Copies of this chain bind each other. A is one copy, B any other.
Amino acid sequence: MTLEEQMIDIAKRAKTASRGLTTLSTDQKNRCLRAMADAIETNQEAIQSENAMDLEAGREMGLSSALLDRLELTETRISGMSQGLREVAELPDPVGRTLEERERPNGLKLRKVSTPIGVVVIIYESRPNVTADAAGLCLKSGNATVLRGGKEAIHSNQIIAKTMVGSAQDICPEFPLDAIQVVPTTDRQAIPLLLSLSEYIDLCMPRGGEGLIRAVADCSRVPVIKHYKGVCHVYVDREADLDAAAAIAVNAKTQRPGVCNAIETLLIDEGVHDDFAPRIAQLLWDHGVELRADAAFIQQVNGSLESRDSKLVQATETDWDAEYLDLILAVKMVDGVGGAIAHINQFGSGHSDTIVTTNDTTAERFLNEVDASTVYWNASTRFTDGAEFGMGAEIGISTDKIGARGPMGLEELTSYKWLGLGQGQIRE
């Protein structure tokens, strides 16, 4: 088979498997998930021996120790995968929910119900535990998955998928063999070939850095749910409780700076008391944060604090849309809530933004006009997360507006259909 034929074969089999998944009951899906969890633990040795092959090849390829660490399936990580699958089994079935119901004057009942999406392609980088996490969430939501992990993890990914499918079939013979497939080649051309098959594949979710996501989006003919980056903001309004503002800004920047829902820019209303700039600068310095600020902020700070040159530098235009993922923060003075909204809508990434204010009208305006997946009032941006939202599990966060937006749990892995229930109605 050519590579193209191979991809068509995978995609067709996934489509057929997705039909089979719609016939499984909730109980069957949950029993499969639990069997998979058990099998991953039982087969720990076999999984680690395949993982050792990946690690050895990785060392030969000269992978960094950070990458090798991500690749390694320790006992803790293996039981973490199992635990994740068991948790997904406990969550409510997202398929078959009645989303809306209406009866037409002719007696036709219309019911909008949630359905699986169909075939979901997941493209990810080095962590092999994503294989189990993503496949488990897709199974629970009735979707067949085609998994394409990093080339350095191919043996690990294959054994995990094989273990999952085998154990599910043992306990539930109706479980479709092709419901979870790992692309068996590391050829880079496989991705555009696979993502051209819009007849069979319903969605692609790339997980990784901006480069990976852009490359996938550029070549795909199937819908891609994307999350390029997180350039999140805290805006401190002139009517803010400044203690709350300081606590929220520090938390949103420093509690875990390397993640997408950490802030990268602090916006301060010009109408806030002059004391606030030196106060927040001092607090952020105390947390090890370097500030890249506009002239107005620098002036307010330098007027009252002794210079800490290396921790307070002049921002350049590229700082406003930078995703530092580090203890660095851009800071800008803006002209009220209007200035904040304009800045965020121009430079933000549509992820998460906060206003701190005690004024309801100002807050309403910010909540309405900021164009982002999650907009907060008096809370840290760090809450944008499936677990924090009470979704139970998260497959990713979307900054797109078609399909899911914001944290994606099981419900966000579903589509819907309309059911029309009649008693012989015809159209006049």
Contacts and interface: CB of A to CB of B under 8 A. Distances in A.
A198 B377 CA distance: 29
A203 B142 CA distance: 27
A427 to B, nearest CB: 4
Interface of A: 19, 22-23, 96, 102, 104, 108, 110, 115, 117-118, 198, 202-203, 217-218, 221, 223, 225, 241, 244, 247-248, 251-252, 255, 345, 367-369, 371-380, 382-384, 388-390, 400-403, 405-407, 415-427
Given A251-B427, A424-B244, A402 B108 contact: no
A424 B382 contact: no
B422 A378 contact: yes
A372 B248 contact: no
16 contacts: A22-B369, A108-B379, A202-B402, A218-B221, A223-B223, A252-B426, A375-B417, A375-B420, A376-B421, A378-B422, A378-B425, A379-B420, A379-B426, A380-B422, A403-B403, A406-B418
Nearest to A203: B402
Contacts of A110: 389-390
A117 B402 CA distance: 8
Nearest to A218: B221
B375 A425 contact: no
Contacts of A376: 419-422
Nearest to A370: B417
Given A372-B417, A415-B402, A417-B374, A217 B223 contact: no
B388 A251 contact: no
B420 A377 contact: yes
Contact of A402 (B251, B255, B383, B402): B402
Contacts of A383: 104, 108, 420, 425, 427
A379 B418 contact: no
A278 to B, nearest CB: 22
Nearest to A95: B368
